Amino acid sequence: MDTIRAFIAIELDAPLRAALGELQGRLKRAPLGRLGRWVDPGGIHLTLKFLGDVSTSQLPELRQALQRAAGEVLPFDVALAGLGCFPNTRQPRVIWVGVDEPTGALKRLQCAVERELGAIGFPPEGRAFTPHLTLARVRDQVASLERAELGAWVQQQSVGRVGAMCAAELALMQSQLRPGGAVYTCLEAAPLQRREE
């Protein structure tokens, strides 16, 4: 059985990717920046649901579910601001930039994705949706003390609004893991628009 590694996301526009690249450049140049493996800005997405390995026979059904979910929400603006760490700043594994969307449209879209994919057999996410963009992953060999220093440093960074864009479509993405890093391909793009009643 052929499978692909897949996820549902909102792709970023070029100006926002450029702004993220500038932010990463600033953070990387700091002394503690060496502790992170920085994500290529071209590979940063706003992930709404990670699917894992999916049978290629499920792709038509997935494409239809994506179209239905996208049809429930009008396009909306998202802004990027603030830095944080997962799981926490004491022992960070991931450094992220926050996503601000005050109208609730992003949450509604994510719920629609969960509902439509649940209907075709994909289990719901076990934890609450926390919209973010991953900037870096902390290197595995970093000691606890240095991790805590890094987390404290991230917390002290004053990062205002990084940029904004209009989210106008939902994407079914394929991720291919390669020695040089993951390669992402959009398999389906579904425009956001409220269904006609």
Q: Is residue 197 part of a domain?
A: no
pTM: 0.89
Domain span at residue 53 reads 3-191
Q: Is residue 69 part of a domain?
A: yes
Residue 132 bears catalytic tag: yes
Digits of tens for pLDDT over the chain (197 positions)?
Answer: 699 999 999 999 999 999 999 999 999 999 999 999 999 998 899 999 999 999 999 999 999 999 999 999 999 999 999 999 999 999 999 999 999 999 999 999 999 999 999 999 999 888 889 999 999 999 999 999 999 999 999 999 888 889 999 999 999 999 998 887 788 999 999 999 854 44
Given the residues 10, 132, 163, 167, select the one marked as catalytic: 132
Q: Is residue 96 part of a domain?
A: yes
Residue 45 bears catalytic tag: yes
Long-range CB contacts for residues 52-57, cutoff 8 Å, separation at least 24: 52/5, 52/6, 53/3, 53/4, 53/5, 53/6, 54/3, 54/4, 54/5, 54/6, 55/1, 55/2, 55/3, 56/2, 56/3, 56/4, 57/1, 57/2
Given the residues 7, 45, 66, 73, select the one marked as catalytic: 45
